[in-house]
Chain A
């Protein structure tokens, strides 16, 4: 049995930042991750981190851009908290040694990004996430914070309406172990594995959302899933928005710069927000002006090799290695791919959930600052701002009366669940069920959604839940059993897929990344509200909650 005042589950950017903040407040804090911190998917973030650093810029403009980007469903108090804190948090990263790219005067460099009224995306070439992740992990090593790596958390311990910690499988040994904690922060990242075409790592399986949900904490706004406009067609690998920020151009097969010429975004063109660009691309393809594999072309050839190597070095490598295309001399074929989920574990702007002792932060959380569509450069920002806030709050307010025996009881229960899973014979293998869910979600719960498609997806997902009841784990060994881990992850995938689809089916309007054939307009009268999906005895129960509106009244959104 392990015991700490604060346990952070997940060691990507949000988890590491939360642990550092808790440690600075004097708490005994530890990280528990199913990977090793430097393997976390934060490392794959490319473009940058937004902050109004320059004298000519203003954090309130950043707030407005974010509210508009969210299609007015982001909570404005949380958005203001994030954008106001942004400059100091980005400087803090610099002070920790993070290797940002530099302007001639030695200050941190910034560039244009989609949906921003000022070029305020602070970057480190096109490896901003990598630099951020490693910098934060360096700070964790410096402080000697305990890291339990390669532990897969399976459940939160809930007793008397409070969270007493978590239970996890030590992947290397197969042992089930308890972690008693006065505050548990879920920083477990996104849900890419719910879909078949995604920029996300295979580790992004929505575990934290599912675990919190099963402890009675709702998933919020799960229907808002971001499909990034520029991913490689064969693998889903991300091609950063920084390409367009630096002046990259999107063409259709008729050689038109369609974002302007076809009127999708007459002012901002390629730098409209992601939901707008993804819809435009798929419209072009559907109307017969796309390329092979449902792609459009992203052209960087006018940059010259030197500029690409300096500012977009990773893109050069990725396009060459994974698509066999050389961006210096030819356009990159791109198409929309699942990239991010705006929704997540419902929490306040300190990361606190409805369940005392349980927190959420980062992509796993829904504060909500991204509403119906996240702006590029705001995800890394969310990690550090709310990482700090949640870590600090958890350190100051953690419970002191947690029960060791409550944790031990759940260890025993999870131990028998794992044993039972491994002892089964018959039933389908987890990989088959997983693939069916992923394909259905990609086909029906994508950029364009119809009632019929959503209903079909929901049926497939619910069927998958039934099939999961007899899922078969072939590998019965204890040492590093990834077959078992994947079977456990599949339940998280199914939970998240159901919440996403259900939320999408209920919301009969189009807002941000959520677009419905039958209801192509935004409907503020009925839908200016957050979706909350709670677990119920007969499956999920949907409730709604008002959006926090301060000074920005909803208006028509165009780019």
Chain B
């Protein structure tokens, strides 16, 4: 945002004065251990934490490193730990979090450098739930699957996931169990689990895949993930629903 905002636009905004940021810094080939660096930037009413970080990088310290791209809470690159909570830097206003603004990389992820963390483990977790459409049958060429607007609405609750990792970073079971799929991956699984186009057989298979010791039952229903999700998704509720369904199926089996 700061790189794309022209001066006239900046003039029109309301000044909120100088703001202090404490930023986590770590460059592996230069630093023995991480440190915090203090910076001061001039902020306006609409200045986001990402704006402030870009301002520091472009004018003060070009070595400050943060992943970012779309600057509109869509690409999911810039989930950070800001004043003790996982948030997207691009849609968090400096004035809303209080001073000093303490900016750290996502907890429970390995740091590559500064605010950049290793996402590979997160991507592996996503992939482990087979996050691709598994329809009940191959359609004829040119034939679309029908889906009721109600069913489409049901999956709308989780479709907005941008893979930012905020939820997984906030989740204590995900922190202690590497094989636990974690909230983002389970919410992704739920997106397919609830999609009526996949059919009953696929639904059962998906539950089976998620039922092991590192799956849905690992969730402690602490709602941390729900609390931090920048897109308003509740992985906890999705996981609880799948757990209930799995339990019901088991009971149905024993009652037979």
Q: Are A235 and B71 in contact (CB under 8 A)?
A: yes
Bound complex: CA A483 to CA B59 (Å)? 12
Bound complex: CA A481 to CA B46 (Å)? 28
Q: Are B112 and A439 in contact (CB under 8 A)?
A: no
Mask, A99-127, CB within 8 Å of B = 1, is 11111111110000000000000000101
**Nearest chain A CB to B75's CB is how many angstroms away?**
4
Interface SS of B by simple majority:
loop
A138 at the interface (CB under 8 A from B): yes
Q: Are B145 and A127 in contact (CB under 8 A)?
A: no
Q: Are B62 and A236 in contact (CB under 8 A)?
A: no
From A97, A130, A439, contact of B135 by CB (8 A): A97
Q: Are B132 and A139 in contact (CB under 8 A)?
A: yes
Given contacts A97-B197, A202-B3, contact A477 B27 (CB under 8 A): yes
B147 at the interface (CB under 8 A from A): yes
Q: Are A141 and B3 in contact (CB under 8 A)?
A: no
Mask, B2-27, CB within 8 Å of A = 1, is 01111001001100000000000001
Q: Are A474 and B62 in contact (CB under 8 A)?
A: yes
From A99, A127, A235, A292, contact of B152 by CB (8 A): A99
Bound complex: CA A97 to CA B131 (Å)? 11
| A321 partner residues in chain B, CB cutoff 8 A | 73, 91
Bound complex: CA A196 to CA B113 (Å)? 28
Bound complex: CA A193 to CA B127 (Å)? 32
Q: Are A127 and B160 in contact (CB under 8 A)?
A: yes
Name the residue among A87, A91, A106, A318 with the largest chain B CB count within 10 angstroms.
Answer: A106
B221 at the interface (CB under 8 A from A): no
Mask, A451-485, CB within 8 Å of B = 1, is 00000000000000000000001110111111100
What residue of chain A has the Cβ atom nearest to residue B112's Cβ? Answer: A480
A3 at the interface (CB under 8 A from B): no
Q: Would you mind naming 23 contact pairs between A and B with Cβ atoms under 8 Å apart?
A: A38-B76, A88-B142, A91-B143, A95-B135, A97-B132, A99-B155, A99-B195, A100-B152, A102-B147, A107-B146, A127-B159, A138-B133, A197-B6, A201-B70, A202-B71, A235-B4, A235-B5, A238-B72, A318-B72, A324-B46, A431-B59, A477-B29, A482-B57
9 shortest interchain CB distances as A-B pairs:
A97-B133, A106-B146, A474-B62, A142-B132, A138-B132, A431-B58, A475-B63, A201-B70, A39-B75
Chain A positions near chain B (C-beta within 8 angstroms): 35-36, 38-41, 43-44, 87-88, 91, 94-97, 99-108, 125, 127, 130-131, 135, 138-139, 141-142, 172, 193, 195-198, 201-203, 233-238, 292-293, 317-318, 321-322, 324, 429, 431, 434-435, 438-439, 442, 473-475, 477-483
